Amino acid sequence: MQTCDPTTQEELRIITRDIWRYVLTTTFNISNDEIKNNELSIVDARNVMHKVAQRMQEPEILEKVSQKCSTLESTGDVTMDTAMKHHIIQDALVYDVYLGGTPSLVEECGFEDGEKGYVFMQYLISEHQNDPLIGQYIGSSMMRLCDAAGIDMTAIQKAAEAMNTK
């Protein structure tokens, strides 16, 4: 995506948006009108993702992920061990970051509480997923969560680069 010309980038963004809209309207019973009437500006999306990034880095979230990952027994397969840790991170993101607390972060950001609000928020944010500032917020927060989980992102990146050069 980053190496494409601006016209192609915009075409890909619109195609991705339309696929997400189809999935939401059919799976979660969210109407196209609801989507169109609630679109977020880039400023609003950045503000929401800043709140998400802050919540992701709260000490109790990092500690919970660290504690759960530290109790996992190794399978002897680094890929499988990493996948199990990643699953713990994903659960923490959904149930502790987005849906945990009173009010939940989803509600605090102006969305309906629960699964529908979470999905709707994710969709609206996805419109701006290629924004550099949003990428920075999420990237740095995910690195903190991965560190807490004991996932060595540098080693994973090097392994992926080695696979790409073969």
Distance CA 98, CA 110 (A): 12
Reported pTM: 0.81
Instruction: Give residue-wise pLDDT tens across range 10-44.
Output: 898 888 878 888 887 888 887 878 877 888 899 99
**Residue 55, pLDDT score:** 97
Q: List C-alpha distances in Å: 7 to 2, 11, 14, 35, 51.
A: 12, 6, 11, 24, 31
**Residue 5 located in a structural domain:** no
**Residue 75 located in a structural domain:** yes
Domain that holds residue 110: 41-165
Buried b (16+ CB within 10 A) or exposed e, 100-115: beeebbbbebebeeee
pLDDT at 62 over 90: yes
**Residue 111 located in a structural domain:** yes
Residue 100: which of 78, 118, 77 has the closest Cα? Answer: 118
Q: What is the number of domains present in the chain?
A: 1
**Residue 102 located in a structural domain:** yes
Distance CA 36, CA 7 (A): 23
Q: Angle formed by the axes of helices 6-27 and 115-126, to 10°? A: 170
Q: Are 89 and 149 in contact (CB under 8 A)?
A: yes
Distance CA 82, CA 136 (A): 23
Residues in the chain: 166
**Residue 45 located in a structural domain:** yes
**Residue 87 located in a structural domain:** yes
**Residue 31 located in a structural domain:** no
Comparing 68-72, 89-93, 141-145, 157-161, the range with the smallest average pLDDT is: 157-161
Q: What is the DSSP letter of 114?
A: S
